[in-house]
Structure 1
């Protein structure tokens, strides 16, 4: 190769390197973003927030976006064991509605940082993930604690639930690790709980249980009703989580008594489809 050719090759390589350093390459992050993330990650937070309108994401969906799982779906996730993080679905503490957010609670800051950095280019349902690092004392813990307390009361019965709502006693200050334990205790109740929109407003609890007699319903009651529009929201507790899921699958989107005015919307609190 001539001297002119060598110089030209060096110039090309140099130009490519400079372009790579600029961060203007599809699929890469700029040095400015990386620097910003480093400053954020200096705090001791152990929680990430993920916003999504889809209410049925599971823990496995968030594990599957790790690079090693994308390349080999059945591969071991290395540092990511079952207790590395817990997935919390953000719900309204009074009516238990999904609030379009998930919280990933990690066992420590190191695991959270590792996950955050590893999944920065991953996608869930073809959408690039964007996690927000939650600072300490962001207000999420008291809200979830109130949700857990009210849900436990609802599972006991309507009288217990409305008493819990009226009390509104201050929730004790919990650490994020305490919240993980609380979340684990709520899972069995969520598996046995469902919300049903649009049942006829005149129906009593015993009417609903008679109508759905073939499901093992523990009890049910109205959470919300509007006499002007006829809209209702019922909480339904089941003895068996299998029946809870069956009712959702059999009646979600169905017109109650074949009346289009009463198109049922059914949601299980554990998010199963």
Structure 2
């Protein structure tokens, strides 16, 4: 099953009869907090750009490479900071799927304006860039939820489920730049893995991949359909970034031999940072 069909399959069963772990129930009285208001507003103007792309592998360098060298130096040197902007991916806060949106967070509107005016005719991977200046706090609220649930998933399975149950109570409370750095740091040790056998328990998965230092693994989604015994989504946490990279490099797109039976399933693996 292709990646696109797989995502459609998940969306179908979210509405129909699939078992979705952590579906929100009645809100509890406890208020969850994430990041406080930040300086994304500068003199009444937002300093965040939105860029839509189906390519989940873009980095800061892809965007820096389209900026003329003299303008790039002006952006980076402004305020004596080393980075021109922070790049973040929009991701679903429940299943951590990439939502085909990037955000470029600048320190101020002056930097944003320099960037957008100098890149309006440029291309990334042969596609003309088109940026949108963000207005409103919806992006900040959404990323706060993602940051909070990802942080909970990196603590434990139970912590993640509790955060999902209370997801609508998560409020913005912190620094956006700090939150981006924390999400990237955690994400470097995390993977999403599609199509492991539904019957495998977390300890069995860790035993099967014993040569990788997997500190935690648990199921986010599965289907009960007879022909979908391998249609699952697991969250993996590794002890270090190198094991995480090696695991994806070695197993993405490979066929997994089910220890029980002779069926095979193609593993699809997505990194979070």
Larger relative contact order (Cα-Cα within 8 Å, sequence gap ≥ 6): 2
**C-alpha contact (below 8 Å) 1:194/1:237 kept by paired residues:** yes
Residues 66 and 77, structure 1, Cα contact 8 Å, conserved in 2 = no
Residue 50 of structure 1 aligns with which residue? 51
**Aligned ranges 1:121-136 → 2 under 5 Å:** 121-136=121-136
Matched-pair contact (CA < 8 Å) for 1:218–1:238 = yes
Q: CA RMSD in A?
A: 2.1
CA 1:257 to 1:210, structure 2 compared with 1: closer, same or farther past 3 Å?
same
1:1-273 to 2 correspondences below 5 Å: 44-68=45-69, 77-81=73-77, 82-137=82-137, 139-168=138-167, 170-173=169-172, 178-228=175-225, 229-230=228-229, 231-257=231-257, 261-270=264-273
By how many angstroms is 1:257 displaced? 1.1
* Higher helix proportion: 1
Kindly state the Cα deviation for residue 159 of structure 1 after the two structures are TM-superposed: 1.1
Q: Structure 1: how far apart are the matches of 2:126 and 2:76?
A: 22
Unaligned runs of 5+ in 2: 1-42
* Contact kept? 2:184, 2:272, Cα under 8 Å: no
After TM superposition, give the deviation of residue 186 of structure 1 in Å: 1.7
String of CA shifts for 1:192-243, please: whole Å, max 9, x gaps.
0000000010111011101111111111000111111231000000011000
> If the length of structure 2 is used for normalisation, what is the TM-score?
0.76
Q: Residues 168-195 of structure 1: CA distance to partner in whole angstroms, max 9, x if unpaired? A: 25233358xx212211122211000000
Aligned length: 222
- Where structure 1 has 5 or more consecutive residues not aligned to the other structure, the ranges are 1-41, 70-74
Indicate how the Cα distance of structure 1 residues 143 and 76 shifts in structure 2: closer, same or farther if over 3 A, else same: closer
Deviation at residue 261 of structure 1 after TM alignment: 4.5
Aligned partners of 2:193 and 2:150: how far apart in 1? 15
Normalised TM-score (structure 1):
0.76
